[in-house]
Amino acid sequence: MEKDGSPKGPPALLKTLPGDDVRQIMWRFADRFDYQMVVQSARAVARGPVARAVAKGARNSHEWTDDKAALLLEFDAAGITAAAVDPEYGGYIEGPKNFVLGLLAFELAWVDAGAGTSSMANTLALAPIHERGTPEQKALYMARSVPPQPGEDRKIWRGAFALTESIPYVGVDTGVLSGRVRVAEWNEGEEPILHVDKRGRFITNMGSASFVTAAVDSGDPRIKGSCMIILEETDPGTWDRGTPTKKLAHQLSSTRDPVFSLRVPAHRIIGGYTVKDGVIVPNYSHAEVIEAVFTRTRATPSIMTSAKLLSAIEPVIRYHRRRFRGAAGINEGTPRFDMGLQQKEDALHRLLDVWAAGEAGASLGFETSRLLDTYDDIEKAKSAVLATQGIAGGRAELKALRAREKDAAEFVALGANKNRSAAESARYDELAADPVLKFMITESLSSVLIPSAKLWNTGHGVNMMREAVSMMGGYGITEDCPGFLGTKWIDGQLEATYEGPEVVQRRQLSVTMSRPIFLQQFQTWIANLRDVAREHPSMGAGTLAAAMELWFWSREYLSTAKDAYGKDLYSNQRHGVTYPLADALAWLVATYHLVLDVLELKAKGPENPALAEGIDGLISFYTDLTHIHSATAAGEATKICAELVFGYRAESYPLDSTPANTDDDFKDVAPFIALRTKVDASLAGSKLAKDRASESLSHVMIPEVLDYPV
Amino acid sequence: MSTGFHIVVCGSLVPDLLQTLEPVAGPTGPALKNEMMLPAVLDPWAGHALFEAAHLAAKHPGSKVWLVSLGPKAKLQQLMMSIAQKVPFELVAIDGSASGFTDPVEVAAALAGAIEKIPTLDRSRLLLFGGCASASRDAGVTVQMVGERLGITDQFLAADEVKVGADGTLTVLERVEGGQYLVSEVVGPPCAIAWATGNLPEPPNNPQVGMQNMRTLMPSLQKAQLAALSAQGGTFVSVEVPKQERKTRIVKDVPLDEMARDIAEWIKG
């Protein structure tokens, strides 16, 4: 029986914009009251002091001003700074923090992402210590980074993460470093004293940092390889915060190009070191540290861009509705007075696209953060098991994991099989108990979700932010645009760039999306969507499933196909093939997670009495919004795949004539044509969904005014 | 001998004041359009009372603050995510409508009943706090009626300040006509104080305070009793939002002084 099937009378309309109850269900934190409090706390800071600072013009300076510095104190007072720190060091939230940091970033970026970055950058500076630091390093720097408690007389420490250097090196390839560490002094039986030279570029929080976690390479035969090392502002030597970066985005955060030439004790090497044959061997290279860091921190900026899109909905609706009010001859009670530009389908349809993109991005970003919250324990369990086998990191571990890929694929397949035999269930239970397999599956998924979120949320998000700006007309590119939409547009561009620009994410995806364990999971997603489509035919899940099947086929085809000149299509250097395919996948992955979140809302929403009054309209609207976005994502993915599958073939006939042997020419891609036809046919109803959602958009109740100043 | 005050603050939620508040006829009488779906805030007057209570409690060791709230349980829970971060208190939740259209007699009965059931409450040290008005209903009678039911006869309305003397005497500043204050003294608790705005700013959110409050908040919400509000207390003939009066006159080249005079005359009526 269809729950939300085809036309059967006027659908219920969305009554109000989605509030906290809705978000808590969709993003799965309805039972985490600590997170809900952090959200409220961050929101009060964002829509209070942060918004007032933006409205006052605090962004209009590259310098680190008192107004900007005052926001850090607001973060401290509201518990935002300490939220990232474990309770043993003075924080107050138990367990992993990826998701809650995502919530914080969402709330701050709702108003100004530069404020979000200021808060995040401190966490980023601590991340190398958190992930790979020695117990002593963790205890010292984490505890110093927590705001003083009542009765404590100390200054809070703030950090900066210094990886990027002046061009031409880092920023293009983080594997190459110009920063150097040398042995300055090493007396017999004493700890070595090191000299660090590092010139940073685009280093966030540098205006307020008391310490820096810096990536450097060895400049001395007595030090092996690269490392990350902690520098303090009171270390002897040069601590030059450098000139402010003249960036056009995120101006509420401090970004500078610092210069360091400092003497530091060797115990500042993050993760410690050993001495072997008179050579200092850091326990972790800088690459190992930053891999661990970026695995966990890249999801957050992706959430920031999605927050901007969702924050744009209310001001755009208000602007559209009131567009003609006050004009001569536009009288109260007339459609032009009451609905303004919302009388026009274009205004409604375009805003729905913005809204859907924001929802899909948030769904993907938060799912990624939730997955990362499971990562630490899973990784530790895997390492413990491998250690019992005498395997500890490096190539030996890679080899051991590779040997288990077949088991991992079997586990995923068994997991998707709803009709397992007794023998299969026993095998499934056996595999499920293996921490190594659990890690492999989680890692294969996270290494697709993280770059997908970073790539799609920010890249496509900025494009959609431009749409939102354009919907405000000339007002959109003024400083006093309600909701600061113009500044959010350009801020989004920085989110697409920092912590690894789009090309880095495409590069990573081009590798990880072809791993068999991921592809196995991808197929279970398709099967899941088919089930969803049967039960909820109006969600567009069938469209998404068809597009995913098409992508899957295209990837398989391209992985062995050659171009008209006999060159491999799917190869390391063939960015023209692998990168667009990664783009297509990111569309699909984001939309898949929107489907899952809306299903969660459908399942749990009716249980919440606060939503009872409007649950029908809410579900109806989100169903339609998902349908709209599934159709868009399917269209984008299909277009990309078609170009790749057909674009590298020889031109077989003139464009203005039909060849006689078409069937023969395209025999090898006949499955693609069939799959594409299936996608096209599955689009039935998607525009009707848009019309229905438009009706909601033109009736939804919004507050009288925005809840933060302009 | 016990020291400090036992301060019970009566206060609940109202729809966020930035929202469009449109009266509609509901199945049980007047209501606000989409009221349950709208974000809610702590009634501003109750908020002043709560912040004053926490301030007073912090200055007098051994004091304790309870917040007694009558509202829809699910909405109260959301409200607590922000309010519980501001000051320490123990919640006593009562499940029921927080609508401005409920009968204050019934509301007062529900509140007084819940207060009477607080097991550790020492009535001889009781200060009953609440707002002198409400953003959703400006009758300004609820605290008085709760006080009456609890047998508290020393009542102060529209208070802006309470000072505690060395001998325990309370000096209360109550707003009266013409911007004047009535200064009263009472030897000590029990007494009821309905607050106007007080003098304290809203405390910033502090999730750490919230975590402490959570230990009692969730159990209280879970065991919240349903209040019997019959909605029979009164009949609403009509309900409407106060009208905004806007008169526009288009003129050119009017000197500033003349414009100011015009506006002043218009205000005077």
Measured between CA atoms, the residue of chain A closest to residue B246 is A326
By Cβ distance, the residue of A19, A34, A703 closest to B211 is A34
Dist. CA A703–CA A635, nearest whole Å = 35
Dist. CA B81–CA B74, nearest whole Å = 11
Give φ, ψ of B74 to 5 degrees: -65, -35
Residue B257 is assigned to a structural domain of this protein: no
What pLDDT, on a 0 to 100 scale, did the predictor assign at position B137? Answer: 77
Residue B265 is assigned to a structural domain of this protein: no
Best of A31, A39, A40 to disrupt the B interface (most B CBs within 10 Å) is A40
Q: Tell me which DSSP letter residue A251 carries.
A: T
Per DSSP, what are the bridge partners of residue B42? B13
The residue segments making up the domain with residue B173 are: 6-241
Q: Is B205 on the interface with A (CB under 8 A)?
A: yes
Domain boundaries, chain A: 20-144, 159-297, 299-652+660-699
Dist. CA A608–CA A602, nearest whole Å = 11
Residue A167 has pLDDT above 90, yes or no: no
Cβ separation B20–A613 shorter than 8 A: no
Q: Provide the pLDDT confidence category of residue A169 given band limits of 50, 70 and 90.
A: low
What pLDDT, on a 0 to 100 scale, did the predictor assign at position B136? Answer: 85
Percentage of chain A with pLDDT > 70?
96
Q: Tell me which DSSP letter residue A568 carries.
A: B
Residue A470 has pLDDT above 60, yes or no: yes
What pLDDT, on a 0 to 100 scale, did the predictor assign at position A289? Answer: 94
Q: Among A620, A619, A460, A632, which Cα is nearest to A543's?
A: A632
Strand, helix or coil at A472? coil
Cβ separation A707–B20 shorter than 8 A: no
The two beta strands, A193-199 and A227-232, are: unpaired
Residue B114 is assigned to a structural domain of this protein: yes
By Cβ distance, the residue of A21, A37, A78 closest to B204 is A78
Cβ separation B207–A77 shorter than 8 A: no
**Taking the mean position of all CA atoms in its chain, how far away is CA A520?**
23
Q: Residue A264: enclosing H or E segment and its boundaries?
A: strand A255-265
Q: Is B78 on the interface with A (CB under 8 A)?
A: yes
Residue B248 is assigned to a structural domain of this protein: no
pLDDT below 50 — which residues of chain B? 1
**Which tens digits make up the pLDDT trace of A301-312?**
999 999 999 999
Residue B262 is assigned to a structural domain of this protein: no
By Cβ distance, the residue of B36, B73, B82 closest to A613 is B36
Contacts of A702 in chain B (CB under 8 A): 20
Q: How many CB pairs under 8 A join A and B?
A: 102
The two beta strands, B126-131 and B191-195, are: parallel
- Given a contact cutoff of 8 angstroms between Cβ atoms, the answer to whether B149 and B112 are in contact is yes
Contacts of B16 in chain A (CB under 8 A): 703, 707
What pLDDT, on a 0 to 100 scale, did the predictor assign at position A395? Answer: 84
DSSP string, A183-246: EEE--TTS--EEEEEEEBSSEETTTT-SEEEEEEEE-STTB-S-EEEEEETTSSEEEEEEEEP-
Most confident by average pLDDT, A397-401, A536-540, B99-103, B250-254: A536-540
Q: Among A117, A126, A202, which Cα is nearest to A158's?
A: A126
**Which tens digits make up the pLDDT trace of A126-149?**
999 999 999 999 999 999 999 998
Higher-confidence residue of A26 and B138: namely A26
Q: Provide the pLDDT confidence category of residue A480 given band limits of 50, 70 and 90.
A: confident
Cβ separation A611–B36 shorter than 8 A: yes
**Which tens digits make up the pLDDT trace of A64-76?**
999 999 999 999 9
The two beta strands, A255-265 and A237-244, are: antiparallel
- Shortest Cα distance from A104 to chain B (angstroms)? 13
Cβ separation B218–A33 shorter than 8 A: yes
Dist. CA A378–CA A438, nearest whole Å = 7
Dist. CA A574–CA A586, nearest whole Å = 18
**Which tens digits make up the pLDDT trace of A214-260?**
999 999 999 999 999 999 999 999 999 999 999 999 999 999 999 99
The two beta strands, B13-15 and B40-42, are: antiparallel
What pLDDT, on a 0 to 100 scale, did the predictor assign at position A654? Answer: 56
Cβ separation B39–A19 shorter than 8 A: yes
Residues contacting A381, CB < 8 A, separation 6+: A435, A438, A439
Residues contacting A514, CB < 8 A, separation 6+: A555, A559, A570
Residue B253 is assigned to a structural domain of this protein: no
Q: Which of 73-112 (A) contact B at CB < 8 A?
A: 74, 77-79, 82-83, 92
Residue type, B201: P
Q: What is the mean pLDDT of residues A50-58?
A: 95
| Mean pLDDT computed over every residue of chain A | 93
Dist. CA A226–CA A179, nearest whole Å = 10
Q: Among A120, A121, A127, which Cα is nearest to A141's?
A: A127
Dist. CA B95–CA B118, nearest whole Å = 16
Q: Is A703 on the interface with B (CB under 8 A)?
A: yes
Residue A641 has pLDDT above 90, yes or no: yes
- Shortest Cα distance from B9 to chain A (angstroms)? 22
- Into how many domains does chain B fold? 1
Selected from 1.10.240.10, 3.40.190.10, 1.10.10.60, 1.10.540.10, the CATH number assigned to the domain covering A20-144 reads: 1.10.540.10
Residue A1 has pLDDT above 70, yes or no: no
What pLDDT, on a 0 to 100 scale, did the predictor assign at position A187? Answer: 95
Residue A2 has pLDDT above 50, yes or no: no
A224 to A120, A182, A286: CA distances (angstroms):
31, 10, 12
**Which tens digits make up the pLDDT trace of A679-707?**
999 999 999 999 999 999 999 999 999 99
ipTM score: 0.88
Asked, as a colleague might, if the bond just before A192 is cis with ω within 30 of 0, I would say: no
**Which tens digits make up the pLDDT trace of A413-434?**
999 888 999 999 999 999 999 9
Q: Among B28, B203, B232, B48, which Cα is nearest to B132's?
A: B48
- Shortest Cα distance from A472 to chain B (angstroms)? 22
What pLDDT, on a 0 to 100 scale, did the predictor assign at position A656? Answer: 59
For domain A159-297, the CATH architecture is: Beta Barrel (2.40)
CATH number, domain containing residue B176: 3.40.50.620
